[in-house]
Chain A
Amino acid sequence: MADLFDDYLPAAAWDEMFERAGVPRSAYGPVLAALQPLDKGELRFRADQLARVFTDRGVTFDYAGEERPFPLDLLPRVIDAAEWAVIDQGVRQRVRTLEAFLADVYGPAEIFRDGLVPWRLVCSSAHFHRQVAGLTPPNGVRAHVSGIDLIRDEDGRFRVLEDNVRTPSGVSYVMENRLAMTRTFPSLFAEQHVHPVDEYPARLLHALRAAAPAGVDDPVVAVLTPGVGNAAYFEHTLLARLMGVELVEGRDLLCAGNRVYIQTTQGRRPVHVIYRRIDDGYLDPLHFNAGSVIGCPGIVNAARAGNVTIANAVGNGVADDKLIYTYVPEMIRYYLGEEPVLANVESHRLESPDVVEWVLDRLGDLVLKPVDGSGGKGIVIGPHASDRDLAELRIKVEADPRAWIAQRPVALSTVPTLTENGPAPRHVDLRPFAVNDGEDVWVLPGGLTRVALPEGELVVNSSQGGGSKDTWVLAAERVREPQAPPIPMPRVTPDATVPEGGPAEGAQQQ
């Protein structure tokens, strides 16, 4: 029988499974050993099963107005312990830096006075919300949850592609992917010491409770969702359920006298920490978009008065702006006095006319990203763009260069991914999730690996039709499972019979 990977040809990028055709990297050895004997039909069958399980469980996202199962690829991505240690350290460093920057922006503004970052960048950012200037969160944390998007370049180095400190989503898929994989492929885990991912809700709850207003010993936490129509609604419900907290919509909340309450069948109940999954602009119609009907008026002033904590904080978008991104390595040195553990992708700010001209001359060789974009929207990958796209891009860049940054196109690393014709290399990125409880930043071992499903495609995003992979972080040593005491048994065990009741058929006389 032909092996599954016999026809697998690595692409012109760092392949995470194979050093070169036929020579697997050591971290993938056991996975490969377990997968190789399976044939394509068997894999397809399991993949269909998996999609079915997701649809039934409602693990879906909205794609073009349609509810689709979240596409999980059956071939896992494996990160060994040493590689993960670098990511863990780099992400924590990055989050601590962004926290320091946010505290500075909405507080003393020292980095601007010291001339490292131009104040102009902040005050012209659409996400700089003056409404929360001077509002200091109870334990100082603004980015309770961050998602730092990483890619792996041609030399196998992890680099930061983008920071997300507003309301990064996707962690539910990390948990659901693992659950689905352990159910579909239990054998794969037998020989592996993979870090579990189910610790996340407890960590998040802990961080949210730690962020409670001063003097509240037993805070009430709630997850605020825009509602069933939101693309990430599934995630909102999952987090609320796993944390054991209320999932609320704006209309369930009531602000009175700078305090926030949940409206229940037995009247108002105070709430102290709101993990909101609503964008800043819709959160408080008094301060932002007055037409918003999904928010809760008064909530920003309640936070200002110190009676409720909004997580993540309002105004965080100023730190994950793509222009600010280009300054993060400098910020790491400035705030922490450390060298960046994870490098950025080489980027150019279109500030001076020279740079603008230089960039316009080679649009076809660069990646242009809108400063305000998210979810892969508006990105133009020069080498893949048509002449028409490039001409349109040129007009936009000339009109407003400040709205763009230019980056070197990186050939994202590839991982074998199941296609119609068996495993084939597909580009991936990685979004590790970090939770900051004010004492420490914890990084969920693994994170969301997103796959660009079309061949050669470099934009990996579920809102752009991407898939995902279960991401395994291998433990340095076998993770010790806590040993439960043995199940108590009666001292004298008669023949193991299941007790039966009711008159037996043809009741036997004794």
Chain B
Amino acid sequence: MSTETGWRLRITHTTRVSYDGDARASYNELRMAPLTLPGQTVLGSRITVQPHVAVWTYWDYWGSEVAAFDLQAAHPSLVMVAASTVETSPAPPLPDPPPWTDLPGLARELGLDEYLVPTDRTRVSEEIAGRARSLVEGLDPHDAALRLAAWIRDRVDYVAGATAVTTSAQEAWEVRQGVCQDIAHLTVGVHRAVGLPARYVSGYLHPDPDARPGDTMEGQSHAWVEYWAGDWVAHDPTNRIPAGECHVTVARGRDYDDVPPLKGIYHGAPSSVMDVTVEVTRLF
């Protein structure tokens, strides 16, 4: 069973927003609660907000759990804490890949159309798409997916701060720098360009694959990809590894815009300072 090889993780995701002056009439949605999936079981999950306010949850089109709340009274700052306990498991064995020729028909049958078309965030130039296609010639879908992920990672350096939350795949490609979000967007983009259905995954990562139970680490809000080749396969292009026991899946969609951890609007000065910390503890 998964408890033998999988991990139990506790995640505390804290977001502090300080406003320049007071914010009023603030409306927010959080996508921070992990999903229960094959290979991932949520034992508990809770979102608290300071100033105290009732939080309401719903499941959106993508199957993500959304916590929504509004605050009418003026407040100088806002603190949101998403805490959860999750059991994860190692990456499952790869499914048998269908032949490339069957992929379009299967994708249509299974309603995966929206994972095949580029979005504004994932669109890559015809030049990149052409190179991607030539790279995967003769490879089966799994090898192709990994080859493309590695190719992107080789060319895009992980540099925090080089890009912004609104950067598109193509923009990140042009500066050859980015963070996990950009690398995931680019990977999704080239997967789709070669006809492989692919989606963007938002979640958490325990940074130390050799962590022992009891270790608390500064973790991170992370992004990786899933591609479809007979079944969905999760892969972390930033770290060049399959997504396994260190990865906790929160939300999946076409790109970041479908799964933002925090989305909100408020009345007040547009400048605000946001401080995010993620603590990940391996419990056993």
Using a CB–CB cutoff of 8 Å, the interface residues on chain A facing chain B are: 109, 112-113, 118-120, 123-124, 130-131, 133-134, 254-258, 285-286, 290, 297-298, 301, 304-305
Question: Is the Cβ of A124 less than 8 Å from the Cβ of B117?
Answer: yes
Using A130-B60, A286-B264, A305-B56 as known contacts, list a sample of 20 further A-B pairs with CB atoms less than 8 Å apart, ordered by residue number in A.
A109-B111, A112-B111, A118-B113, A119-B108, A120-B108, A124-B114, A124-B117, A130-B258, A131-B61, A254-B72, A255-B70, A258-B68, A258-B70, A285-B265, A286-B27, A286-B263, A297-B265, A298-B70, A301-B56, A301-B68
Question: Is the Cβ of B61 less than 8 Å from the Cβ of A123?
Answer: no
Q: CB-CB < 8 A to B264: which residues of A?
A: 286
**Which B245-267 residues have C-beta < 8 A from chain A?**
258, 263-265
Residue of A113, A134, A285, A298 near B61 (CB, 8 A) is A134
C-alpha gap A285/B25 in the complex (Å): 12
Question: Is the Cβ of B265 less than 8 Å from the Cβ of A286?
Answer: yes
Question: Shortest Cβ distance from B266 into chain A, in angstroms?
Answer: 9
Question: Is the Cβ of A133 less than 8 Å from the Cβ of B265?
Answer: no
C-alpha gap A286/B267 in the complex (Å): 12
Q: Quick one: CB contact mask for B112-142 with A, threshold 8 Å, 1 for yes? A: 0110010000000000000000000000000
Question: Is the Cβ of B29 less than 8 Å from the Cβ of A286?
Answer: yes
Q: CB-CB < 8 A to B60: which residues of A?
A: 130-131, 133
* CB nearest neighbor in B for A135: B58
Q: Quick one: CB contact mask for B54-98 with A, threshold 8 Å, 1 for yes? A: 101011111000001010100000000000000000000000000
C-alpha gap A284/B68 in the complex (Å): 14
C-alpha gap A113/B56 in the complex (Å): 32
Question: Is the Cβ of B58 less than 8 Å from the Cβ of A256?
Answer: no
Interface bracket on B? 20 to 34
Residue of B59, B72, B111, B117 near A256 (CB, 8 A) is B72
Q: CB-CB < 8 A to B113: which residues of A?
A: 118-120, 123-124
C-alpha gap A123/B116 in the complex (Å): 11
C-alpha gap A256/B70 in the complex (Å): 6
* CB nearest neighbor in A for B266: A297
Q: CB-CB < 8 A to A304: which residues of B?
A: 58
Q: CB-CB < 8 A to B25: which residues of A?
A: 254, 297
Q: CB-CB < 8 A to A109: which residues of B?
A: 111
C-alpha gap A130/B70 in the complex (Å): 21
Q: CB-CB < 8 A to A297: which residues of B?
A: 25, 27, 70, 265
Question: Shortest Cβ distance from B281 into chain A, in angstroms?
Answer: 33
C-alpha gap A289/B260 in the complex (Å): 16
Q: CB-CB < 8 A to B29: which residues of A?
A: 286
List the 10 closest pairs (A to B, CB-CB), nearest first.
A130-B61, A133-B61, A120-B113, A123-B114, A297-B27, A286-B27, A298-B27, A119-B111, A301-B68, A256-B72
Q: CB-CB < 8 A to A301: which residues of B?
A: 56, 58, 68
Q: CB-CB < 8 A to B68: which residues of A?
A: 258, 301
* CB nearest neighbor in A for B56: A258
Q: CB-CB < 8 A to B111: which residues of A?
A: 109, 112-113, 119
C-alpha gap A334/B233 in the complex (Å): 36
Q: List 14 A-B contacts (CB under 8 A).
A: A118-B113, A119-B108, A133-B60, A134-B61, A255-B70, A256-B72, A257-B54, A285-B265, A286-B29, A286-B265, A298-B27, A301-B56, A305-B56, A305-B58
Q: CB-CB < 8 A to B27: which residues of A?
A: 255, 286, 297-298
Q: Which of B59, B62, B70, B264 has the most CB of A within 10 A?
A: B70
C-alpha gap A411/B168 in the complex (Å): 48
Residue of A113, A131, A257 near B70 (CB, 8 A) is A257
C-alpha gap A113/B113 in the complex (Å): 13
Question: Shortest Cβ distance from B73 into chain A, in angstroms?
Answer: 10
C-alpha gap A256/B25 in the complex (Å): 9
Question: Shortest Cβ distance from B235 into chain A, in angstroms?
Answer: 24
C-alpha gap A304/B62 in the complex (Å): 16
C-alpha gap A123/B258 in the complex (Å): 14
Question: Shortest Cβ distance from B90 into chain A, in angstroms?
Answer: 32
Q: CB-CB < 8 A to B62: which residues of A?
A: 130
Q: CB-CB < 8 A to B72: which residues of A?
A: 254, 256
Question: Is the Cβ of A290 less than 8 Å from the Cβ of B265?
Answer: yes
**Which B95-115 residues have C-beta < 8 A from chain A?**
108, 111, 113-114
Question: Shortest Cβ distance from B232 into chain A, in angstroms?
Answer: 18
Q: CB-CB < 8 A to B61: which residues of A?
A: 130-131, 133-134
Q: CB-CB < 8 A to B56: which residues of A?
A: 258, 301, 305
Q: CB-CB < 8 A to B263: which residues of A?
A: 286
Question: Shortest Cβ distance from A133 into chain B, in angstroms?
Answer: 4
Q: CB-CB < 8 A to A298: which residues of B?
A: 27, 70
Q: CB-CB < 8 A to A305: which residues of B?
A: 56, 58
Question: Shortest Cβ distance from A138 into chain B, in angstroms?
Answer: 16
Question: Shortest Cβ distance from A301 into chain B, in angstroms?
Answer: 5
Q: CB-CB < 8 A to B70: which residues of A?
A: 255-258, 297-298
Question: Shortest Cβ distance from B151 into chain A, in angstroms?
Answer: 28
C-alpha gap A23/B114 in the complex (Å): 58
C-alpha gap A113/B109 in the complex (Å): 8
C-alpha gap A118/B107 in the complex (Å): 12
Q: CB-CB < 8 A to B258: which residues of A?
A: 130
* CB nearest neighbor in A for B54: A257
Question: Shortest Cβ distance from A277 into chain B, in angstroms?
Answer: 22
C-alpha gap A109/B114 in the complex (Å): 15
C-alpha gap A254/B26 in the complex (Å): 11
* CB nearest neighbor in A for B71: A256
* CB nearest neighbor in A for B112: A119
Q: CB-CB < 8 A to B117: which residues of A?
A: 124
Question: Shortest Cβ distance from B37 into chain A, in angstroms?
Answer: 19
Q: CB-CB < 8 A to A120: which residues of B?
A: 108, 113
Question: Shortest Cβ distance from B29 into chain A, in angstroms?
Answer: 7
* CB nearest neighbor in A for B113: A120
Q: CB-CB < 8 A to A124: which residues of B?
A: 113-114, 117
* CB nearest neighbor in B for A124: B117
Q: CB-CB < 8 A to A112: which residues of B?
A: 111
C-alpha gap A131/B60 in the complex (Å): 7
C-alpha gap A133/B56 in the complex (Å): 17
Q: CB-CB < 8 A to B59: which residues of A?
A: 134
Q: CB-CB < 8 A to A285: which residues of B?
A: 265
C-alpha gap A124/B117 in the complex (Å): 9
Q: CB-CB < 8 A to A134: which residues of B?
A: 59, 61
Question: Shortest Cβ distance from B110 into chain A, in angstroms?
Answer: 10
**Which B264-280 residues have C-beta < 8 A from chain A?**
264-265
Question: Shortest Cβ distance from B185 into chain A, in angstroms?
Answer: 19
Question: Shortest Cβ distance from B119 into chain A, in angstroms?
Answer: 11
C-alpha gap A326/B62 in the complex (Å): 29
C-alpha gap A290/B28 in the complex (Å): 12
**Which B36-61 residues have C-beta < 8 A from chain A?**
54, 56, 58-61
C-alpha gap A174/B283 in the complex (Å): 70
C-alpha gap A112/B56 in the complex (Å): 32
Question: Shortest Cβ distance from B105 into chain A, in angstroms?
Answer: 12
C-alpha gap A118/B113 in the complex (Å): 10
* CB nearest neighbor in B for A106: B61
Q: Quick one: CB contact mask for B1-43 with A, threshold 8 Å, 1 for yes? A: 0000000000000000000000001010100000000000000
